[in-house]
Amino acid sequence: MHEMSIALSIVETLEAKAREEGAGRISGIDLVIGKLAGIEPESLKFCFSAAAKGTLVEEAVLVIEEPEGLGECGECGRKFPVSFYYAECPGCRSLRVKIVSGEEFLIQSITIEDQEGE
């Protein structure tokens, strides 16, 4: 499953980060997954909780932001929302549409729990 390998690599990245920061637990993760990124957020959440089991990331709360897709017409320059790849320009019907956003997939921020005071 596609989302499972993504979940595993996120867990891996975050664990490395947590160790770097002194082995604190990670309590929250903000992800940005564009609507055109080809990743199913619900499925990713599910895989993530499985992948994170027994790691420093186990209790992290996953927050996913899903920016809409945006296309730009190569003929008339018009920008418009797109919900998938093969979009047609609503202005001139051109198919020369470049996707300008909505494909992003990144870890926006992580929250590391401070272990001081334990």
For residue 15, CA distances in Å to 35, 38, 49, 61, 90 come to 27, 25, 14, 14, 45
Cα–Cα distances (Å) from 45 to 6, 22, 55, in that order, read: 11, 26, 16
Amino acid identity for residue 23 in this structure = A
Residue placing its CB nearer to Zn ion in the complex, 88 or 103 = 88
Task: Give me the 29-68 binding string for Zn ion, x by CB under 5 A, dash otherwise.
Answer: ----------------------------------------
Residue 95 engages Zn ion in binding (rule: CB under 5 A)? no
Total of residues contacting Zn ion (CB under 5 A):
8
> Is 89 a residue that touches Zn ion (CB under 5 A)?
yes
- Residue 58 contacts residue 50 (beta carbons within 8 Å): no
Give the one residue of 22, 38, 81, 91 binding Zn ion; rule: CB under 5 A: 91
List interacting residues with Zn ion (CB under 5 A): 73, 75-76, 78, 89, 91-92, 94
